[in-house]
Amino acid sequence: MELLLQQLFNGLTLGSVYILVAIGLTLVFGILHVPNFAHGALYLIGGYLTLMAMKGLGVHYFVAIIISMISVALIAILMERLVFNPLRNAPAIHDKIAAIGMVLFFDALVSLIWGNDYQRMITPYGDSVTIFGIATSYQRILVIVVAVVVVILLQLFLKKTMIGASIIAMAQNREGAFLVGINANAVAMMTFAISGALAAIAASISSPINLVFPAMGHIVILKAFVVVIIGGMGSVPGAIIGGLILGITESLGATYISNDYKDMIAFLLLIIIMTVRPKGLFAKGVY
Amino acid sequence: MSKVLNKRNGIIAVLILSLLFPLAFSDNKYVLYIMTLAFIYIIAIYGMNILAGYTGQLSLAHAGFFAIGAYSVGVLTTKAGLNFWLALLLAVLITMGIGFALGIIALRTKEHFFAIYTLIAGYLIYLLIYKWEGLTGGVRGLIGIPIPNAIGPIKFESPIAMYYLVLLFLLLSIFVTVRIVYSLTGRTYNAIRNSEELAQTLGINTKINKLVSFVISVSFAGLAGGLYASLVRFIGPEIAGTTMVFTFLMYLIVGGIGTLAGPIIGTLLFIWLEQYLQSFQEHKMLIFGPILTLIVIFYPRGIVGAIQSLMGYFRTRKKESSKSYKTNSESTDMKSREV
């Protein structure tokens, strides 16, 4: 029983990170109908910027996260302006290829600037702690707390503010949004900025557990795709449910099936789901 | 002048060049080896071109199938002790079989979902190869894959012999591609690429056509993988990785997706660029990545597409200046043939 609880908790930590990455991906998909293959690159840069801000500037962990969020949001806006905006009327295959070009570029850039070594991110929350018989660390608790707070703030933003409402409106009906005078460019830039900032937070809170290295974006983006497809492309609640399903499945699978094959579980899950439901579990059938 | 420089003579010239190439570099094994490797990649990329360029379905599992071909040859020759030729044939058949099974499921998804599905299927193939140590040697890979067995008096010990062998397969692949592209099947694929709904309205069974295109595409990858295994003689799981498929895609896009000469031009350009940038090897993507992005934005049909539209432009200008009443229907017809 204790082992099960322990694994559920670990799954929750894993899932929290997946949720933050996947929400960014799903928001962008909702607006532009583009799966942003370069989202993993934003995650990668986010992790490194936090680490470098802490090491180079010597600022506190939370300050470093904020610096990283702002920088990655700006990079994401640039990405939208320079790459996705010119391609908005191109055939569906093009934006994916352009995104792959950016992935290759950012991977090379990171390894050029910061090297290929695995680096540890040491935070003030590394101590371990035992709650209700579950051995964990403050960092893992922090991951869950941050994810919950961010998701609640994001929901408030999307539901209660005008800018948030315009993002939802454009995701629901593009032409309708234009008719009521929503500025498509502003919404697209805003969405990319949010998506980048979320990727930066996710990387910053998971890096103290998982190390920082140039390939860290690859596997995360693949798993975020799994989450988004489970939850239905473009749906924020779907991404939350999908993230939890994936995190917990992986964590339980690693314990009860095989630790070696734990990455495979996620992808097999997706293959099975897409085999049965080609558009994902909770797809609304809009796209 | 223009009579000498027509397409047929161009093709003959390239063919003669490729046949004479080993004679010029007969003492430089390295150059021959790089060229042979490039030809193998071109075969795989032709497969990618049939599916992504002509049928419009971007499969990111292509490197996975390349690896399946390579590992089939590797396992069948080193572990089962089969003759190379039999192993190569089986490798292509195995790749096609797996491609058929995956294609049935994967092609139920469309556009973005298809790209994501195949990306993840490709990664799964990589993970399987990486983890299945008993069969594939895991991260250490397979070592000591034999060179092709001699056919009568023809032996394949020298790099020149390997070069001609691979060239033969390359010409065969090009021949098959040309036959497909100019056939009714090719036109059908184009119709699917341009609009799947419209193709269905015309009575085309898009499901079967996409599946056949997918299987043809992976068979090229399997063949290329099998040849790769016996040329390099060592294979590791990284040949199934995402970097590999992104590299293939880069060669195809920069050369010209949906064009017949694109795979050749893109691959040769990059392979030789990489040789000159060897000191820069680790950071080459710093330049290549943005090139890929820029090409897709500004020249979506790559170098070949850009040259074609340039030639079309001059042709129409020439006609206008000679005040011919012939409209530019001829040049648009050339373009629609996607040469």
Looking at the complex, does the CB of residue A48 fall below 8 Å from at least one CB of chain B?
A: no
Looking at the complex, does the CB of residue B56 fall below 8 Å from at least one CB of chain A?
A: yes
- Enumerate residues 160 to 179 of chain B having a beta carbon within 8 A of any beta carbon in chain A: none
Q: What is the structure's pLDDT at B326?
A: 47
What does DSSP assign to residue A260? T
Task: Tell me the mean pLDDT in the region A188-206.
Answer: 92
Tokens of A121: 């991110």
Measured between alpha carbons, how far is B65 from B244 in angstroms, rounded to an integer? 11
Cβ pair A101:B56 closer than 8 A: no
CB A258: neighbour CB atoms within 10 A?
A: 12
Measured between alpha carbons, how far is A272 from A278 in angstroms, rounded to an integer? 10
Measured between alpha carbons, how far is B275 from B277 in angstroms, rounded to an integer? 5
Helix, strand, coil share (%) of chain B residues, nearest 5: 75, 0, 20
The nearest CA of chain B is from the CA of A19 a distance in Å of: 18
Cβ pair B115:A96 closer than 8 A: yes
Closest to A66 in 3D by CA, of A204, A220, A209: A204
Cβ pair A104:B105 closer than 8 A: no
Measured between alpha carbons, how far is A13 from A147 in angstroms, rounded to an integer? 9
Spans of chain B, pLDDT less than 70: 1-5, 320-339
Q: Is residue A225 part of a domain?
A: no
* HSE of B135, CA atoms in CB hemisphere, 13 A: 11
Q: Helices marked H in chain A — which ranges?
A: 2-32, 39-52, 61-79, 92-114, 138-160, 162-172, 174-179, 184-210, 216-231, 236-256, 262-276
Task: Tell me the mean pLDDT in the region A268-287.
Answer: 69
Cross-strand pairs, A135: A130
Measured between alpha carbons, how far is B168 from B173 in angstroms, rounded to an integer? 9
The nearest CA of chain B is from the CA of A26 a distance in Å of: 13
Residues of B in Cβ contact (< 8 Å) with A83 = 293, 297
Looking at the complex, does the CB of residue A77 fall below 8 Å from at least one CB of chain B?
A: no
- Enumerate residues 214 to 253 of chain A having a beta carbon within 8 A of any beta carbon in chain B: 218, 222, 225-226, 229, 233
Residues of B in Cβ contact (< 8 Å) with A44 = none
- By CB atoms closer than 10 A (0-12, 13-18, 19+), residue B33 is middle
Q: What is the structure's pLDDT at A196?
A: 94
The nearest CA of chain B is from the CA of A230 a distance in Å of: 12
Q: What is the structure's pLDDT at A23?
A: 92
Task: Tell me the mean pLDDT in the region A220-238.
Answer: 85
pLDDT digits (tens, 9 = 90+) for A147-184: 999 999 998 998 888 888 888 888 888 788 888 888 88
The nearest CA of chain B is from the CA of A45 a distance in Å of: 15
Task: Tell me the mean pLDDT in the region A126-155.
Answer: 83
Cβ pair A271:B283 closer than 8 A: no
- By CB atoms closer than 10 A (0-12, 13-18, 19+), residue B281 is exposed
What residue spans define the domains of chain B? 17-300, 303-339
The helix/strand/coil state of B234 is strand
Residues present in chain B in total = 339
- By CB atoms closer than 10 A (0-12, 13-18, 19+), residue B140 is exposed
More confident residue, B224 or A127: B224
Instruction: Return the CATH fold of B17-300.
Output: ABC transporter involved in vitamin B12 uptake, BtuC (1.10.3470)
Q: What is the structure's pLDDT at B71?
A: 93
Closest-CA residue of A relative to B287 is A105
Residue A7 has pLDDT above 80, yes or no: yes
Q: Is residue A97 part of a domain?
A: yes
The nearest CA of chain B is from the CA of A286 a distance in Å of: 13
pLDDT digits (tens, 9 = 90+) for A93-113: 888 889 889 998 998 898 888
Helix (H) or strand (E) holding B22: helix B7-24
Cβ pair A107:B285 closer than 8 A: yes
- Say if residues A110 and A48 touch (Cβ distance below 8 Å): yes
Q: What is the structure's pLDDT at B332?
A: 44
Amino acid identity of residue A32, one-letter, is L
Amino acid identity of residue B207, one-letter, is K
Amino acid identity of residue A197, one-letter, is A
What does DSSP assign to residue B182? T
CB A165: neighbour CB atoms within 10 A?
A: 14
- Residue-number span of the structural domain to which A101 is assigned: 22-216
Candidates B109, B250, B291; nearest CB to A278: B109
The helix/strand/coil state of B328 is coil
What does DSSP assign to residue A24? H
Q: What is the DSSP string of A76-145?
A: HHHHIIIIITTTTTS-HHHHHHHHHHHHHHHHHHHHHHH-S--B----TT--EEEETTEEEEHHHHHHHH
pLDDT digits (tens, 9 = 90+) for A33-90: 888 889 999 999 999 999 888 888 888 888 999 999 999 999 999 999 998 888 888 8
Cβ pair A264:B119 closer than 8 A: no
The helix/strand/coil state of A182 is coil
Q: Is residue A276 part of a domain?
A: no
Q: Which ipTM did the prediction report?
A: 0.84
Optimal mutation site among A32, A100, A229, A270, interface B, most CBs of chain B within 10 A: A100
Cβ pair B115:A35 closer than 8 A: yes
What does DSSP assign to residue B146? P
Q: What is the structure's pLDDT at B4?
A: 60
Cβ pair A91:B288 closer than 8 A: no
Looking at the complex, does the CB of residue B128 fall below 8 Å from at least one CB of chain A?
A: yes
Looking at the complex, does the CB of residue B284 fall below 8 Å from at least one CB of chain A?
A: yes
- By CB atoms closer than 10 A (0-12, 13-18, 19+), residue B287 is middle
The nearest CA of chain B is from the CA of A73 a distance in Å of: 20
Helices A216-231 and A39-52: angle between axes, nearest 10 degrees? 130
- Say if residues B226 and B73 touch (Cβ distance below 8 Å): yes
Closest-CA residue of B relative to A265 is B124
Cβ pair B113:A229 closer than 8 A: yes
Residue carrying the six token digits 């002048």: B1
The total number of structural domains that make up chain A: 1
B188 Cβ partners below 8 Å, 6+ apart? B199, B204, B209
A111 Cβ partners below 8 Å, 6+ apart? A214, B282, B283
Cβ pair A93:B116 closer than 8 A: no
Q: What is the structure's pLDDT at B322?
A: 63
Q: What is the structure's pLDDT at A202?
A: 92
Looking at the complex, does the CB of residue A105 fall below 8 Å from at least one CB of chain B?
A: yes
Cβ pair B246:A103 closer than 8 A: yes
Cross-strand pairs, B179: none
Helix (H) or strand (E) holding B143: strand B142-143
Cβ pair A101:B127 closer than 8 A: no
Cβ pair B109:A93 closer than 8 A: no
Q: What is the structure's pLDDT at A131?
A: 75
Q: Is residue A174 part of a domain?
A: yes
pLDDT digits (tens, 9 = 90+) for B20-76: 777 777 777 888 888 999 999 999 999 999 999 899 888 999 999 999 999 999 999
Closest to B59 in 3D by CA, of B282, B301, B248, B290: B248
Residues present in chain A in total = 287
Residues of A in Cβ contact (< 8 Å) with B284 = 108
Cβ pair A222:B123 closer than 8 A: yes
Cβ pair A90:B284 closer than 8 A: no
Looking at the complex, does the CB of residue A85 fall below 8 Å from at least one CB of chain B?
A: no
- By CB atoms closer than 10 A (0-12, 13-18, 19+), residue B24 is exposed
The nearest CA of chain B is from the CA of A266 a distance in Å of: 10
